[in-house]
Chain A
Amino acid sequence: MKKWTRLISVTAAAAMMASLVAPASVFADDVFVIGGIGPLTGGAAAYGTAVENGAKVAVEEINAAGGINGAQIDFRMEDDVHNQETSVNAYNTLKDQGMQVLLGTVTSAPCIAVLAEAINDNMFLLTPSGTAVEAIAGDNAFRVCFSDPNQGTKSAEYIGDHQLATKIGIIYKGDDPYSVGITENFTAEAPNHGLEIVSSEAFLGDSTDFGTQLNAAKNAGAEMIFLPIYYEPASLILKQAADMDYHPSYFGCDGLDGLLAIENFDTSLAEGVMLLTPFTPNAEDELTQKFVAAYKEANDGLVPIQFAADAYDGIYAIKAAMEDAGVTPDMSVSDICEALKVSMQNITLEGLTGTITWGADGEPNKEPKAVVITDGEYVPM
């Protein structure tokens, strides 16, 4: 008994030390290791898993068609629980696994933290969905989606141009940069399009009761509620508004994407909700249809959301840039980054989320699109 305990504890200690110290040193020379970081668990998990699944569809297609410049892609995704500190840990884990290019980080605040590390290492970073301005503040960083200021401005523009409503109530998450960023820009842009903001109410943290905010909007006579928030609180707002017999129209941004995938959510409540999103699974072009079919097959019939499409486009953008630059897997991280920085500005991507080109600032140029939820599906407007 005594001997066994000693033996076991010594072995365990030795194993722990070994796992702590030994860096992964087996980098194959004939594959590109592309890393991905995003929330795979926790409140924002829908985004991370969508990015992971979307990227995998693209990677499988590319690998089946012969890879990039003849080399296969090895895509590895790590969880960051939507937390800056964990995100940096995930980045370091991927570096240990030989990551050469980063597709991430999925959410904004973690992306800012990871970007600082990526600039240090001169690692090429393409975020599929990090919307904060600072998320791509380095010249090694690009993104697939619109930035927060863009989303706020484009939403006001879209509502005004299509005359969807004039009296707007806003419910936003006061401690979330994404939500505050959009709200600020929406508020600034609204008057230019004949929109009047009659109430603007914040909630904090993991609130579950939105009675105050809804009553404020109702009493101010808001015809439309603008929801620049994530889908989880939005589902509660829809439910509670219906319970108090208040039926405004709703408009949201890409954070609302995922609303229909919430378990036990009565999707009839989401009827008529509009959201600004660059991707609709019901679009009829061939590219979208092919992607949706492949995605559903790989994920038990789950319908892809915009984040999956962003990730899919992200992988193809990396491929296009790598082919333009002619990089090979044996090049160093920094050399690949220097080459891709230039090539990103040369390519034009015919992607799921539109025809995209990139400027030196890393921002994508593409047309905004909106969808409305009809019969439990996203339908292009």
Chain B
Amino acid sequence: MNQNNQSAEIIKKIQSSTRRGNLITYGIVLAAYIVMQSLVSTGHISSLLKGLLVPVCVYVIAAVSLNLVVGISGELSLGHAGFMCVGAYASSFFTNAYGDGLPNWFRLILAIIVGAAAAGLFGILIGVPVLRLKGDYLAIVTLAFGEIIKNLINVLYAGVDSNGIHISTKSAMDLNMGPDGKQIIKGALGISGTPRLSTFTAGVVLIIITLFIVQNLMNSRAGRAIMSTRDNRIAAESIGIPVTKYKLLAFAVSAALAGAAGVLYSHNLASLSTAKFDYNTSILVLVFVVLGGIGNIRGSIIAAVILTVLPEMLRGLSAYRMLIYAVILIAMMLFNWAPAAISWRERMMERLPFGRKKRTGEED
């Protein structure tokens, strides 16, 4: 009886500390939004930074959603850009084909729903065969699927006329559209002329929704089941947790959120092509996750912001900026994650008068 009480108390403690951690994350996002928005409205912001606001939101959402697979479900996925690609194309097609005349915010919401649903569907389709693999094998297969998605879309031609949607994989001529037809996806040419619906506010709202979904999932019954399959698959299976089902859940939710990031991306640029969504982008998002700390949502956000803004801030160094960027990346990785650097940081923290006390093992 006494033991039960104790463990109940410990659980309560952990729950309240994660809740506090979650609230801090929301707070950081909101504070950043208020600061940036007030800078924009008073005009004290450079055009460059103003232009970076939406891309930053895109990468934050992508990083948080990938963290769900890599950090929470413990699977290495290298095909995240593929899901962004699906979301971007599906939503751009939808926006260009339908929705003329509707208010912008409503068109964007519809686009996000379409993009996230399409990417989520692909997540399930790919997850069913892929999640039977583990570790490195899974990483390689997701990499391959990411490239397959990209190459499929590259040969896709699609248009819309009064008879509905026409799709071909050969050429624009094979669409056989009526005279009122409008060609939208032009194979390798991609989609151009998507109206610019993405705004910073929409991006931040989407980040908050993403955080809400991911953080609540982590602290739910399903989330604990997912984490148990990560920590010890055999033990989880032995107490009757359907491992594949829960891994698939995490994978599909992550894919849908990546799709939403893709929607935001495609509605921010007038020209969309698949070149952007190659494995380099998947790796870039993975770098955000690893640098921010695998399983650490707030870290993912901060890393995505810094690593998106940094290369643009280094423009003054012209050709050297790629080199400097790589050096800074290595230095940041070492500073954040080398054991010696971690213990040095903790010693420093203790010595600072306003510093935090040494951590007692809990993650923030």
User: Which A residues form the contact surface with B (CB < 8 A)?
Assistant: 2, 5-6, 16, 19-24, 40-41, 78-79, 83-85, 88-93, 95-96, 109-110, 112-113, 115-117, 132, 134, 137, 173-177, 179-181, 184, 204-205
Contacts and interface: CB of A to CB of B under 8 A. Distances in A.
A85 B52 CA distance: 9
24 contacts: A2-B351, A5-B348, A20-B313, A84-B271, A85-B276, A89-B51, A89-B52, A92-B52, A93-B315, A96-B47, A109-B190, A109-B271, A110-B271, A112-B192, A113-B271, A115-B270, A116-B196, A134-B271, A174-B154, A175-B150, A175-B154, A175-B273, A179-B188, A184-B172
Contacts of B348: 2, 5
B318 A177 contact: no
Contact of B46 (A21, A78, A115): A21
B312 interface: yes
Contacts of A117: 51
A176 B270 contact: no
A177 B190 contact: yes
Interface of B: 39, 44-52, 55, 150-151, 154-155, 171-172, 187-190, 192-193, 196, 269-276, 278, 309, 312-313, 315, 318-319, 322, 348, 351-352
Given A5-B348, A78-B315, A95-B47, A134 B192 contact: yes
B319 A134 contact: no
Contact of B271 (A5, A89, A93, A112): A112
B319 A41 contact: yes
Given A21-B44, A204-B154, 18 more contacts: A5-B348, A6-B352, A19-B313, A83-B275, A84-B269, A84-B271, A84-B272, A89-B48, A91-B51, A92-B52, A96-B48, A109-B275, A117-B51, A132-B189, A134-B193, A137-B193, A175-B154, A177-B190
Contacts of A21: 39, 44-46, 49
B55 A85 contact: yes
A173 B52 CA distance: 31
Given A78-B315, A95-B47, A112 B171 contact: no
A93 B312 contact: yes
Name the residue in B270, B273, B318 with the highest tally of chain A Cβ atoms < 10 Å from its Cβ. Answer: B270
Shortest Cβ-Cβ A-B pairs, 6 listed: A116-B270, A112-B271, A92-B47, A92-B51, A92-B48, A177-B189
Contacts, number: 112
A177 B155 contact: no
A107 to B, nearest CB: 11
Contacts of A19: 313
B352 A88 contact: no
Contacts of B154: 174-175, 204
Contact of A176 (B50, B188, B315): B188
Contacts of B312: 89, 93
B323 to A, nearest CB: 10
A96 B188 contact: no
Contacts of A115: 270
Contacts of B322: 41
A79 B45 contact: no
Contact of A2 (B46, B171, B352): B352
A204 B192 contact: no
B187 A112 contact: no
Contacts of B309: 20
B260 to A, nearest CB: 17
Nearest to A78: B315
A86 B315 CA distance: 11
Given A24-B46, A177-B190, A109 B273 contact: yes
Nearest to A179: B188
Nearest to A25: B46
A335 to B, nearest CB: 19
B274 A175 contact: yes
Name the residue in B269, B275, B278 with the highest tally of chain A Cβ atoms < 10 Å from its Cβ. Answer: B269
Nearest to A23: B46
B270 A23 contact: no
Contacts of B151: 175, 204
Contacts of B270: 112-113, 115-116
Contact of B269 (A40, A78, A85, A137): A85
A257 B270 CA distance: 28
A92 B273 contact: no
Contact of B189 (A22, A95, A181, A205): A181
B314 to A, nearest CB: 10
A90 B315 CA distance: 9
A181 B150 CA distance: 19
A112 B196 CA distance: 13
A79 B50 CA distance: 18
Nearest to A119: B270
A113 B46 contact: no
Contact of A174 (B48, B155, B193, B269): B155
A177 B155 CA distance: 12
